[in-house]
Structure 1
Amino acid sequence: MTRHPSETIRLSAEWAAYGDALGFMTELADAERVRYRSGAEYVSATSSWRRKVGGYSGTTFELPAGTYSDDTQLRLATARAIRADGSFDVAAFAKVELTAWSNYALGAGISSKEAAANLARTSATWYSNFFGGKRSAYVKSGGNGAAMRVQPHVWAARDLSKYDEILLDVFRNSICTHGHPRGFVGACFHALSLAFAMRTGSPASLLELAKQAEVLRGLPLLIERDRDIRILWLDAWQKASNRSFTDGVNDAVDEIVQYLDKLSALDGNSLDVAYPDALDLLAAKADQSRGSGTVTAVLAAFASSVADVSDPKRALLVLANALGSDTDSIASMAGAIVGASTTVECSDTIQDISYIRESALRLAKVSAGEKAQSFRYPDLRSWKPERTAIDVVGLIDDALYLNGLGRLEKLASKESKETGNETLGWFRTEFGQTILARSRSEKKVLSPNFSSANANSSNGQDARGARPPGRLADLFTKSEPQVLSRKNQSEVDDGGVSLNELLKRIIADNFDPETVGRALLQQVKEGNGDFVERGVALTATVLTAYEARLKRTSR
């Protein structure tokens, strides 16, 4: 089978979105609920259907045919954050895309929502999003919320055989929200599964998938060579997880290998026969494992390996109608793999199909090294996300904006509902995506400095300004003693403390110059050869937090 690489990427993106749209209709539902939603117990194509939006106390909406879930929403967000030169703007993805997505998310998991909410805090960054709460915690987040969105890193890859480059971007993306090895190793395994299909034109066999799993045992060495992740994230993760990164990765890889070994008994059967047994073997319908990053990635890869790629729709219908499993994510991830292995077009309705194609073809240009556009994000040094998700939609000069991403157009032809002082309605972004977004009846006025200026920067360069943050000299003005000061007690206990913990101490000490200076000098005293890099990283983080403090106090 010979075809242009751009067609491979486009079909992969379209079938991934189609699998998501099918599986979204049956997600977490039994036959009775599927009948209530769609009018039939068996989903046979995308169609309009009903769903309660906003949890158990939410509002029931009629969703148009082909409506996709958070899987495709975050996949499109990831694609926007990949720049024309192929680099991944992880800071913009974390602080702009994820915080905006918290407003319009459909079908999102608890961990992803908690992670996005925490990123709205000034102190949280892509490498320090160590959230914790009653319902979820960063180091326990091992779901498939990362794996389901990382396909654009594979689509944009210049060389599909260079796993290191792909895996680093997939890893950066994943750790924005998921801190358990099942989450980020599952995402990496799915990326390798997709890369194999794109490179060879067919899904990987179980034997090849086992080889790919073993490749992931090299992830610790890869991360150790990446200065940003090693300095800014790794130490903090190991302390929070209370185990070594190598052990965590190997445990997750061992799980994948064991799953593949179990599934080998089903190899050679048709998808219709093999898939129900596969769900049982991996306990994929059990509460403790449904939605696991490793389980989902393995099931998507296995289903693709036994599917008839000449009939992608039939294959995805099998996955979408496997009630009790994580139907949308498995069908979406398998759709990406099968789509990369077929020439068959998707003829059913998919929401925003024009934008999905446009996004995929832009990544195809990036992959080929051709001239492409970069999405223009606000300057993160002078922009901040809204702390409350509902305020992400606001007004600038009486026009509606999605903070950080651009203008919104209210779709008058679609229903909207008001509950109390909130409105839930359909909008279209200026770049062509449809969202069901929340807003206040009396919408907040956003600062023009906090909005995206233009979604169509065509020069391929970073469109954010280069002006340095101001008023930094104030940092070295001696402050009054603070009640929260830890100067005396920290003089002898700064050694071995992670950069994130040092930042917390400095903020608690109200940026006291002596505390800042001691923290910097301690990097030398620890005797590590990377003290310069650690010092630079700490300085950048402190200055960013300090500028944010100044902006808040000056208003």
Structure 2
Amino acid sequence: MSESRLKRTVSSALWSAYGDALGFPTELASEEVVKKRVGQIRSARTGQWKRMVGGKFGAEVTLPAGSYSDDTQLRLSTSRAISGQGYFDVEAFAKIEMPVWQIYALGAGRGSKAAASSLGNRSTAWFSNFFKGYESGGGNGAAMRIQPHVWAASKLDDKPSYLVDVIRNAICTHGHMRGIAGAVVHAVSLAHVLQHGRMASDIDWLRYSDDIRSIPKLIKSDNDLLTFWVPTWEKNSKTTLERAAEEVANEWSVSVRKAMDWFVQTNEPAAIIYAKIVEGDNGLSKEERGSGLKTALFANVAAFLGQRAGSQEIMEIVANLLWSDTDTIASMAGALIGAAKPDAKFIGEIQDDPYIRMEANRLFNISQGAAEGTFPYPDTLYWQAPRAAIDTLTVADGHYVLQGFGNVTPVGPRFTGRQKGAAWQWFATFWGQSLLIRMRAELEVNSEAAHKAVERDKNIADLFDYQSDEGDLESEISVLDGDVALANEVAIQKSIVKENHAETKQSVSVDVSYEEEYCFTKPLTIDIDALSSEAIKSFDPELIGQHLLMISEQPNGVTLATGYAAIVAKARATRLRHKR
């Protein structure tokens, strides 16, 4: 059984990435656009192609064969956030993975990008991400990434044992019951295949309405969600969890019965049946094609039809039904198909194949109770995502550094477009993944421009430069441009602090588990210049309080805290004078 499950887990991971890569070039594209991208009007195998990134002012970049989109990117993010002991570190996922993902996201939807941006705020917890539009977020951005919870589950017949983490993962970004329910339905569908070695039947799908109805109880089993998320969600949504779950469960049953009516048309080709089901359930409409609930159903339909049509054939059918959510449906269907047919072969390459296999093997070992490696995230108590996502890639000690993750290595040429100050480049990571990172155009290793970029936050004249990341368009806003008086006064305060305490940097020990190939070490330091610069950008009381508590725990903490407070207070007073 264990050998069979390992094979199914690895196959599921590869086929889900393959489906994503196959459907990526056809996502929301006309036949003309598809032909321009892949050289023909159908996507039949993975290959190198070109795509515009960063919107109309972005750049045309070359995507290697088998390049995958946000579906697989966030699936791998979820996988990394599962510790070697099987614990889902939702804090690391929400506060590190999601904010950093913004600068390498490919094909991401607006909802997921808005959620990631909000999670980058220090005051936003994983269970309090109530950004504008959160409660209406019923898209498939959660459902597409939750497979690792099932792959790592030790008891597939015990649904709550993995569904609680599936729901916690989904709630980080999606607040509508359709988005949460889509993740739950896909999880139980995948668990059924891993447990029984075959796709669930359409009769089984009807029973998933009971799993949707169980969501409120599972949510309330989590103390963080019960205490804060539930009352806030119910107030904002003007309904109860139970009523919302019942409504979506009924929607699911109606959609399943529509699909079942088409399955009796046994004389029709699989491509016709699939297209009719998707079109008949509004899967081609702008309003519903990205629904989490509908996508989970269409993935089940595709995998079910694949038993008749063949795995490769059904994936091509899904990837080429234009104006449906081709890559996400194909990716979720691939997870099911790979688990059900582990010996099936796909046509083409998958980018980062070795890393995807490694993570699948790691999650399988976790499901069997074996000790495994844990990704070495920084401590979320101290680490904070940059205010501007584009500053997540920096330069230090002659290396490019992806904040929160470590050193990365550039691969190939840079791509530039009309977006001022931005560039894109592929980078190789120490853990084996390839990332197309959006970066500042002037950032260079061992160059004067790189030195200036790294030092910008320490330069007192630039304390109030604020970068606002608006989706694909990067705009720069100077809050108090050229405030020489403020710069001089704050500089004086900093000089006083340095006179009173010549050495302002103190080491802080952080307890992080470093194991196997994930292991790397990077000391965390206290830098009064950097902390005060960060505080002055927002004057966030919670942030300033955290800084003071952190500083006070260091040797000579009183002196350091006094200096920090003097800098922040003087800057605040000067800014208020300026506004008057």
TM-score, reference length from structure 2: 0.77
Equivalent residues of 1:123, 1:545 under 8 A apart: no
Q: Conserved in 2, the CA contact under 8 Å of 1:427 and 1:436?
A: yes
| 1:343-400 deviation line (CA, Å, top 9, x unaligned) | 2243520111011111111101111111210101001111111111101111222311
| 2:454 is the alignment partner of 1:445 | yes
1:402, distance to aligned residue in structure 2 (A): 1.0
C-alpha RMSD of matched pairs (Å): 2.9
CA distance 1:307–1:294, shift in 2 (3 Å):
same
- Is the CA contact 1:17–1:68 (under 8 Å) kept in the aligned structure 2? yes
- Range with bigger deviation, 382-391 or 66-75: 382-391
Aligned residue type for 1:216: I
Q: Is the 8 A contact 2:69 2:105 kept in 1?
A: yes
Displacement after TM superposition at 1:130 (Å): 0.7
> Quick one: structure 1 residues 445 and 145, their matched pair in 2 at CA, closer, same or farther if it must change by over 3 Å?
same
Deviations 1:517-541 (A, max 9, x none): xxxxxxxxxxxxxxxxxxxxxxxxx
1:147 aligns to what? 143
Question: Cα offset for 1:140?
Answer: 1.0
Query: Are the aligned partners of 2:127 and 2:229 in contact in 1 as well (CA < 8 Å)?
Result: yes
* Secondary structure of residue in 1 paired with 2:359: helix
User: Match of 2:363?
Assistant: 363
The counterpart of 1:457, out of the listed 509, 515, 519, is 515
**Equivalent residue number for residue 480 of structure 1:** none
1:406 paired residue number: 406
Match for 2:210 among 199, 211, 214? 214
Q: CA deviation at 1:549?
A: 7.8
> Which residue of structure 2 aligns with residue 525 of structure 1?
none
Matches within 5 A, 1:370-519: 370-412=370-412, 414-417=413-416, 419=418, 420-443=420-443, 444-445=453-454, 457-458=515-516
Partner of residue 335, structure 1: 334
Whether the 8 Å CA contact 1:379–1:465 is kept in 2: the answer is no
Aligned with residue 247 of structure 2, among 247, 251, 261: 251
Contact 1:141–1:178, Cα closer than 8 Å, also in 2:
yes
Query: Measured at CA, do residues 201 and 548 of structure 1 come closer, stay the same or move farther in structure 2, by a change above 3 Å?
Result: farther
1:298 matched to which residue of 2?
297
- The answer to whether the 8 A contact 1:103-1:390 is kept is yes
Q: Aligned partners of 1:110 and 1:459: how far apart in 2? A: 34
* Residue equivalent to 1:173: 169
Distance, in Å, in 1 between the alignment partners of 2:438 and 2:522 is 28
Query: What CA deviation, in whole Å up to 9, does each residue of 1:80-136 have, x standing for no partner?
Result: 00011111000000010001100000000001001111111111111111111xxxx
Aligned mates of 1:358, 1:383 — CA distance in 2 = 27
Residues 376 and 513 of structure 2 are in contact (CA less than 8 Å); yes or no, is this contact kept in structure 1?
A: yes
Residue identity in the other structure for 1:375: F
**Residue 146 of structure 1 contacts residue 183 of structure 1 at CA under 8 Å; is this kept in 2?**
yes
Is the alpha carbon distance of 1:239 and 1:431 closer, same or farther for their aligned partners in structure 2, counting shifts above 3 Å? same
Q: Conserved in 1, the CA contact under 8 Å of 2:312 and 2:347?
A: no
Number of aligned residues: 477
How far the C-alpha of 1:279 sits from its partner, in A, is 1.2
Deviation at 1:310, TM superposition (A): 8.4
How far off is 1:61 after superposition?
1.5
Of 68-77 and 440-449, deviating more is 440-449
The residue identity in structure 2 corresponding to 1:260 is V
Change (3 A) 1:167 1:363: same
The answer on 1:123 being equivalent to 2:119 is: no
1-structure distance, mates of 2:308, 2:50: 31
Match of 1:320 in 2: 319
On the 8 A contact 1:13/1:357 being kept in 2, the answer is: yes
Deviations 1:484-532 (A, max 9, x none): xxxxxxxxxxxxxxxxxxxxxxx99x97xxxxxxxxxxxxxxxxxxxxx
Distance in structure 1 (CA, Å) of the matches to 2:326 and 2:189? 19
Distance 1:187 1:127 in 2: 17
Question: Structure 1: which amino acid aligns with 2:300?
Answer: A
Asked whether the equivalents of residues 378 and 512 of structure 2 are also in contact (C-alpha less than 8 Å), the reply is no
Residues of 2 paired with 1:425 and 1:445: CA distance?
Answer: 19
- Following TM superposition, by how much is the alpha carbon of 1:165 offset from its aligned partner in structure 2, in angstroms? 1.6
Q: Taking structure 1 as reference, are residues 225 and 455 closer, same or farther at Cα in structure 2, changes over 3 Å only?
A: closer
What is the CA distance between 1:454 and its match in structure 2?
8.7
8 Å CA contact 2:83, 2:89 repeated in 1: yes
Q: In structure 1, how many angstroms separate the alpha carbons of the residues matched to 2:144 and 2:89?
A: 18
Say if 1:232 and 1:26 are closer, same or farther in 2 by CA, change over 3 A: same
CA–CA distance in 1 between the matches of 2:293 and 2:279? Answer: 15
Code of the aligned partner of 1:161: D
CA offsets 1:184-228 (integer angstroms, 9 cap, x no match): 111111111111111111111110011122222112122222222
Query: Which of the residues 260, 266, 272 maps onto 2:262?
Result: 266
Q: Could you tell me which amino acid in structure 2 is paired with residue 318 of structure 1?
A: I
Q: Distance in 1 between matches of 2:518 and 2:411?
A: 31
Q: CA deviation at 1:453?
A: 11
CA distance in 2, matches of 1:364, 1:406: 26
Which piece of structure 1 moves more, 437-446 or 9-18?
Answer: 437-446
Moved more, 311-320 or 147-156: 311-320
Corresponding position of 1:473:
none
Aligned to 1:8: 8
Partners of 1:456 and 1:208 lie apart in 2 by 43
Relative to structure 1, the CA distance from residue 197 to residue 464 in structure 2 (aligned partners, 3 Å threshold; closer, same or farther) is: farther
Q: CA deviation at 1:152?
A: 0.4
- SS of residue paired to 1:121: coil
Alignment of 1:276-295 (within 5 A): 276-295=275-294
Q: For the pair shown, which has the larger CA radius of gyration, 1 or 2?
A: 2
Structure 2 partner of 1:494: none
Are the counterparts in 1 of residues 81 and 92 from structure 2 also a CA contact under 8 Å?
A: yes
Structure 2: distance between partners of 1:435 and 1:460: 17
Q: Deviations over 1:312-341 (max 9, x none)?
A: 211111100000100000000000001100
CA contact (8 A) 1:377 1:453 kept: no
* Structure 2, unpaired ranges of 5+: 444-452, 458-504, 525-537, 551-563, 569-580
Contact 2:60 2:415 in 1 (8 A): no
Deviates more, 1:144-153 or 1:422-431: 422-431
Structure 1, residues 153-193: CA drift from partner, whole Å, max 9, x if none? 00000011110021100111001111111111111111111
List aligned pairs for 1:97-108, cutoff 5 A: 97-108=97-108
Q: Distance in 2 between matches of 1:16 and 1:305?
A: 15
Q: Which residue of the partner structure matches residue 194 of structure 2? A: 198
Secondary structure at the residue paired with 1:130?
A: coil
Question: Once the 2 structures are TM-superposed, how far is the Cα of residue 309 of structure 1 from its aligned partner?
Answer: 7.3
Distance 1:460 1:60, change over 3 A: closer
More displaced 10-residue stretch of structure 1: 62-71 or 346-355: 346-355
CA distance in 2, matches of 1:301, 1:549: 53
Separation in structure 2 between the aligned mates of residue 293 and residue 138 of structure 1, nearest angstrom: 14
State the Cα deviation string for residues 1-36 of structure 1 (Å, max 9, x = none). 995211110000000000000100100011111111
Q: How many angstroms does 1:464 deviate by?
A: 12
Q: Which amino acid aligns with 2:183?
A: A
- Residue 134 of structure 2 corresponds to 138
Conservation of the 8 A alpha-carbon contact between 2:21 and 2:350: yes
- The 2-side partners of 1:141 and 1:366 are apart by 32
How far apart, CA to CA, are the structure 2 residues paired with 1:32 and 1:441?
32
Percent identical across equivalent pairs?
Answer: 38
217-226 or 122-131: bigger deviation:
217-226
| Counterpart residue type for residue 160 of structure 2 | D
Instruction: Report the alpha carbon displacement of residue 267 of structure 1 after superposing the two structures with TM.
Output: 1.5
CA distance in 2 between partners of 1:56 and 1:3 (Å): 49
Counterpart residue type for residue 547 of structure 1: Q
Flag structure 1 segments of 5+ consecutive residues without an equivalent. Answer: 467-506, 512-541
Per the TM alignment, residue 545 of structure 1 is displaced from its structure 2 partner at its CA by 8.2
